Amino acid sequence: MLTERRLDPARVSDPAAAWEVFRAFLAVDLAGLETAEDADADGFAVSWGRYGWNDRLPSLSFERILAVDVSAAWTETEHYQPEYWRVGLEMVFAEHPGLADVGGLKTQDSGVYYERPGPAMDDALREALWEVEREPSLRILWAGSPSRSIVKLEPLD
């Protein structure tokens, strides 16, 4: 979806444009997810910080969190659990004086939202973006150009 919008997944140049792609990705129905009524099967989060896997450089990530239905392959008779996966875009930024506090902010993510497309998801997306807009250093990330980025698909621990 990024390449359809002329964004290079390895070097996304515009977080706001990537956000629009992410919003479109959230609207795509995915097969194979947990179907139990009380399951948090499909959610999203926005996160930021400084992490060892990014050389402690400032980063901003958009993530979709999925509970995959693996009941057909489940061998235990009790305690079924779906597999949880994360697919997302992680953008890493060069050092900048205005980003000094990115790793020490009071919160490091928006929290996970499980709304589906419609008014509730629109509200959740606005709230997640509000988290970014309220912090000066995160506004710098949002307006900046990442030095690198990566699309990840990985299991959640």
Digit-coded pLDDT (tens) for 71-115: 888 888 778 888 899 999 999 999 999 999 998 888 888 889 998
The total number of structural domains that make up the chain: 1
DSSP for 70-127 reads: -GGG---SS---PEEEEEEEEEE----GGGTTGGGSS-SB---B-PPTTHHHHHHHHH
Question: Whose structure tokens read 């697919």?
Answer: 87
Digit-coded pLDDT (tens) for 58-70:
999 999 999 999 8
What is the span of the domain harbouring residue 103? 3-155
The model's pTM = 0.89
